Amino acid sequence: MMKGKVYIVGAGPGDIGLLTVKGLMCLQKAEVVIYDFHLNAQVLNYINHDAEFIYVGKRSGHHTMTQDEINEILIQKAKEDKIICRLKGGDPFIFGRGGEEAEALAKNAIEFEIVPGVSSFIAAPAYAGIPLTHRLYSSSFAVIPGYEDTTKKESAIDWSKLSTGVGTLVFLMAVKNIDLVTQKLIENGRNPDTPVAVIRWGTRPDQKTITGTLRNIAELVKEKDIKPPAVMVVGDVVRLRESLRWYEKKPMFGYRILVTKEHPEGSERLEELGAEIIEFPTVEIVPPESYDELDKSIDKIATYDWLIFTSRNGVKYFLKRFFEKDRDIRDLKGIRICAIGSKTANEIKRYGLKTDLIPDEFHAEGLIKVFSQQSAFGSLKGIKFLLPRAEKAREVFPEKIRELGGEIDVPVTYRTTKPESRGKRLKRFLKEGRISIATFTSAATFNNFVEIMGEKADELLKGVAIAVIGPVTARAVENAGLKVDIMPREATIEALVEEIIKWATKGDR
């Protein structure tokens, strides 16, 4: 009996928060992911990075594979005893040909499960402030394809019954045939003054909604240059949009923010205000190539007066190695601990340790200032410091400590590498002007971004607001001939988020 199994999963219409819990579970255990065009590719960030990714996207005029070829890949991978996630936009059984794929699997005796998704027919109107049913306006609705299979000799839609027999009509993929659809409805008795809404890219930052009537909506679609994908809603419920529109009123609606760090904490606030976060990590944190320096420092840990952490990664990687060497947390007794920033201090606290000192300014200069003030008669003679840090780090603080007479060891505790990433989708988004703000939390995140994007990285960032943490990152951006638009006074993610919100909502663009 074959061990291979296929999960046909609906990924929702675009807002990543609309992916179901079960869909996420299937993604996380998948060995092969076969995915479409009309979904938020950010969901792929939740997948085991060892999985095989196969893109089979179809969009207007561009078919990567035929449906028969997609079916064949599903069968082939299942016969290799793989766990497969067939990831489809919206719901797989709503005009998504998921039924055909399930049939092909059933014919080949391959086990499968269907994981329903939130369909655009319900999500797009909801995000546009249009309920499909309402006690005072409509008690029924129907979902209809905006185009039918061209191989059919006769239409399967009974326009005479549909036009007047259902309160709310929802058409999917109707933009190209909107003249025909509106004509058929009017010819079959629907009032030409019936309200109509067309919602493009529903639930996404570039959602665009236009309203009109059956009489003029086709003309408005052409005038406003509305292209697929779009959902069309016909019925009196459209009248509720003006009072119920909520998504487009969010202060950061329309903003798509590039984050060059994996799993960025603090960005939830931006999402709550309506922005979409695009994760594109340009650095990967890994252990040092050699532990020799760090091990020597750990072996003589009792000789230090101060242990200084400049990042949460420094805390995590230092203590990980500390415990791997069979050391006890009590071995740090008597050593004073300094942390740059509240986040680093919170990380230290997780290990049951207390931070003795946090500089007011969260950078090397702030450290210099606080220890210069603490030095007796301007000297740190006889005081020993341990600063576990990244492989590439500034020498400003260590040099100042030595200048003041102190002793300091700076063992490499972790390093950053550039992840393997082609960035094809991100390049397309940048070229199309669909990224509003790009954030960089270190010089490495920016420099790696430039390397990944290639020679025209500076051109891709033109028209994009650049937000950075700290003067070192700002200098890296400026050295590339670009302008920094947003930089908080305090070098923390929280401060950066607040500054982004202030910049966006005050109209400083």
Give the residue numbers marked as catalytic. 36, 58, 173
Q: Tell me whether the omega of the peptide bond preceding residue 229 falls within 30 degrees of 0, making it cis.
A: yes
Which residues make Cβ contacts (< 8 Å) with residue 183, sequence separation at least 6? none
Alpha helices in 375-506 (DSSP H): 396-403, 424-431, 443-453, 457-460, 470-479, 493-505
417: three-class secondary structure by DSSP: strand
Q: What is the 3-state secondary structure (H, E, C) of 79-130?
A: HCCCEEEEEECECCCCCCCHHHHHHHHHHCCCEEEEECCCCHHHHHHHHCCC
Give, in order, the Cα–Cα distances in Å from 259 to each of 66, 281, 314.
Answer: 35, 7, 21
Q: Which of 270, 260, 183 is nearest to 452 (CA)?
A: 260
**Phi and psi, residue 98, nearest 5°:** -65, -35
Closest CA to 41 of 423, 464, 367, 313: 423
Helix (H) or strand (E) segment spanning residue 316: helix 312-324
Q: Tokens 């920016």 belong to which residue?
A: 446
- Helices 396-403, 364-374: axis angle to 10 degrees equals 20
CA distance 291 to 388: 11
The C-alpha atoms of residue 147 and residue 175 are separated, in whole angstroms, by: 9
Distance CA 10, CA 135 (A): 30
In angstroms, the CA 168 to CA 170 distance is 7
If residue 292 lies in a helix (H) or strand (E), which one and from where to where?
A: helix 292-299
Cα-Cα end-to-end distance for the chain: 61
Tokens representing 346 are: 């919170």
Beta carbons within 8 Å of 256's beta carbon, 6+ residues apart: 205, 206, 275, 276, 278, 429, 434, 435, 436
